[in-house]
Chains A and B, each alone.
Chain A
Amino acid sequence: MNMHNVSWVRQDMVSPSARPDRQNGRLEWTRKNLFNGWVSTFLTLASVAAILWLAVAVAPWLGNSVWQATSLAECRQLLDGAPGACWAVIRDRWPQLLFGFYPPHLYWRPVLAFALLFAAFAPVLFRSPPARALWFSAVYPGIAYWLIWGGSLWFPTAVYLGFAVAVGLISLSARISHGFAISVAILGAVLWWLYAVEPLTSTANALLPITLDVVASRDIGGFLLSIVIGVTGIAMSLPLGILLALGRRSSLPLIHLLSVVFIEFIRGVPLITLLFTASLLLNYFLPPGTNFDLILRVVIMVTLFASAYMAEVIRGGLAALPRGQYEAAEALGLDYWKAQRLVILPQALKISIPGIVNSFIGLFKDTTLVMFIGLLDPIALAAAIRANTNWQGIYWELFIFIGAVFFVFCFGMSRYSMYLERRLKTDHR
């Protein structure tokens, strides 16, 4: 078609006109997200009113905070009738809330142990940790124990030698059979711990005493206690939970039955009853005259409790794996443990990360229950502070502080698990 035959042709583009005012900008956003229909409008107004009411109620209380006082009466005197928070209680009892009745001149020991905890976590936190970091993670429990409880360095060393004995026995008897070697190693290590640790510790201590001041378990309290129980429970419940989950899916009827009974029993009772068992009944089940540390008993019970929940989470992950993965592992000629270790568990654990971290968070929150058997966790200390004549009648400040610390730990864990999930995501969705 010839251009000249046409009367008029537009040669340039029409410049786009701006959207109508109501369709963009803040006004439109507000209309869409805040006042979209009368239900939404009502909800917005109600929430804004609630927030304002809360702010009006809380702002003067926070604004008038008193940080320097030694008792609630002094706080009230300073405030002179005005509403105000008395954070002085936190300032006054800060070391107690953190460490319980741990001797003040030894505070550096738990602090150092806590700092080293991050180094021990390095293999989990970083993608390709150096081999040396793994060694440090392995010896960390011994170091932390020694730092927090004190005593002779030779005791944790002797306990660790038990693992060396086990490794030695495995390499000696591995030629006969794999399973046989493992049984021998476990037996050897247990015998070592039962009969060799104590004489070895005392002998080595007589030759070369390396000791720290002993701190009794009843003096350990506050967030230190929560973290000790929480971290130990977390570290031990995962492997135990994996074993229980594998046991529940096992084709061996006896192993399956034992795992099911254990898991269902533990999941059926409240943690408190298990803790009371630890404090009241354990003396019945052990040889007469045995008496061992209350914190250790609690850690064992918390671990057993958490591992039953962990087992169910991991069982979910195992069940979610397609059958093809199991069959492929078998077809490659891998034996049971190799198949689990190299093919099944890495995938199953990855699927169950959210559940696993949720159990970790639950376990950490459950450490507060130890107050019922006389251990001084932060909530028990808060009760003690509220019973003290100086601070009688105070509650919000203490509970807000304790709640905030728990929130930071638990929220941090849940965010980290989300990050871990994203990092480990390898599918192409």
Chain B
Amino acid sequence: MAMKSGASREPFQLSMLFNDSRYRARTIQVFAFIILVLAATWLLDNTIRNLAALGKDFSFGFLWSTAGYDISPRAIDYSSTSSHARAALVGLLNTLIVAAMACVTATILGVFAGVLRLSNNWVVARLMTVYVESFRNVPALLWIIVVAAVMSEAMPAPNAFRGENPRASMVLWDSVAVTNRGIYLPVPDFTRSLGQAELALGALDLNDIAILGVLSLSFLIHRGLVKHAQRVQSATGRRPITWWKSLCIFALPMVALLYALGFHLDYPALKGLNFTGGLQLRNSFIALWIGLSVYTGAFIAEIVRSGILAISRGQTEAALALGLSPARTMRLVILPQALRIIIPPLISQYLNITKNTSLGLAVGYMDLRSTLGGITINQTGRELEGMLLMMLTYVAISLSISVVMNIYNDRVRLQER
């Protein structure tokens, strides 16, 4: 059959908008656009009419009025006379702090459980299977509430630590008190403190800055040392022993600095009805932190396990055939390849942790959702603005974590031909 060439010369008919694939794409998009605009107009119109009916306007001015409520724990200076914006910032920092800590502990737990689940040891492998299956098949919220309930119901009250024969005692050489009001930890303190620098957002502890500075300096020197060792190794085939030099580089300046600052630990002590001194980790924080860590740890364990299993056996065999020890096989051959598979789902677990910190509502943790999205909304009646701001903040956190991790991901990606 002869093909008729020049189909485009056909006269245009209305039905071609639907039947001709050259036009259909545009028709669909125009329709979608019209529907989108109509829907947006409808929503906007409803919102404006509803706001008018309630006698409200749409403004973010409420952010600068006095919050009038207290928040604890708080990472930066805040009092009930601060503004709603500052309350939101304190909440945001609380969200980020608990998320970061839960990410670290969940990763440690997950890597351990994932590796041990693959171990040849029958008991340990079964035990880890039980851990993974039981923690990931039960809602995170339940784990958080269980930890909170155990903390508040089963732990001794502070007055149980009192007297000649107390019913409860502090653990770890009398430094940590586990009570039903939270856990009291010793905190580092400095007798010759450098003081604080006042900045726009809050005070900055100069001692921390000094410690960080010394640490990064040590790190730079250590890198130079390792580079030198590598040069020697490639030139002579013999790697100089560096571990004690590294230890000195890190330990000596730090010890000197801490001595100069007059470093000591501030221990919690029972005074009156409660413990004073040290650092109090509230039940809400502990419940959220532990609950999210053990829950997400189970998911990370599965990610680690599947990442290691995905590396073909030939890689291990090849590495062993080259004469690498099992530990080096793991470190130099298996892990770098497995990480490439592990990192992307790991990122999404970190994002999940960040979003799941909003479950702190169940135990009364003062995060972004309960400051900006909770008390502020209730006090000012600005549901629309408050929720919008809170959602956008969460989206911004999510997007920035995924951007950072995507950059890393691109760097470790397998370079193919």
Given A179-B28, A276-B373, A284-B51, A33 and B120 touching (CB < 8 A)?
yes
> Pick the contact of A273 from B24, B142, B149, B391 — CB < 8 Å?
B391
Most buried by A among B138, B140, B351, B362: B138
B399 touches A270 (CB 8 A): no
B137 touches A33 (CB 8 A): no
In the bound complex, residues from chain B placing their C-beta under 8 Å from that of A383 are: 145
B137 touches A272 (CB 8 A): no
Given A254-B33, A407-B137, A180 and B394 touching (CB < 8 A)?
no
**How many residues belonging to A are interface residues under a CB distance threshold of 8 Å?**
63
Distance in Å from the Cβ of A179 to the closest Cβ of chain B?
A: 5
Question: What residue of chain B has the Cβ atom nearest to residue A35's Cβ?
Answer: B121
B137 touches A411 (CB 8 A): yes
A372 touches B362 (CB 8 A): yes
Question: What residue of chain B has the Cβ atom nearest to residue A366's Cβ?
Answer: B139
In the bound complex, residues from chain B placing their C-beta under 8 Å from that of A344 are: none
B391 touches A34 (CB 8 A): no
In the bound complex, residues from chain B placing their C-beta under 8 Å from that of A286 are: 46
B18 touches A285 (CB 8 A): no
Q: Which of A40-48, A90-98, A134-142, A236-244 contacts B (4 or more CB under 8 A)?
A: A40-48
B25 touches A365 (CB 8 A): no
> Pick the contact of B142 from A255, A280, A402 — CB < 8 Å?
A402
In the bound complex, residues from chain B placing their C-beta under 8 Å from that of A34 are: 121-123
B31 touches A183 (CB 8 A): yes
B49 touches A288 (CB 8 A): yes
In the complex, A322→B276 CA distance in Å?
Answer: 65
User: Looking at chain A's contact residues, is the secondary structure mostly helix, strand, loop, or mixed?
Assistant: helix
B359 touches A178 (CB 8 A): no
Which residues of B line the A interface, CB within 8 A? 15, 18-19, 24-25, 27-29, 31-33, 36, 43, 46-47, 49-51, 53, 116, 119-124, 127, 133-134, 136-142, 145-146, 149-150, 153, 351, 355-356, 358-359, 361-362, 369, 373, 377, 383-384, 387, 390-391, 394-395, 397-399
Beyond A33-B120, A288-B49, A406-B142: 4 further Cβ-contacts under 8 Å? A47-B123, A273-B373, A284-B50, A288-B50
List 26 A-B pairs, Cβ < 8 Å: A47-B123, A47-B124, A48-B123, A177-B15, A178-B18, A252-B25, A252-B32, A254-B29, A258-B32, A268-B395, A268-B398, A272-B359, A272-B361, A273-B373, A280-B383, A284-B47, A285-B50, A286-B46, A287-B46, A288-B50, A365-B138, A372-B362, A383-B145, A393-B153, A406-B139, A414-B137
Which residues of A line the B interface, CB within 8 A? 32-34, 36, 40, 43-44, 47-48, 50-51, 176-180, 183, 251-255, 258, 264-265, 267-273, 276-277, 280-281, 283-288, 361, 365-366, 368-369, 371-372, 379, 382-383, 386, 393, 395, 399, 402-403, 406-407, 410-411, 414
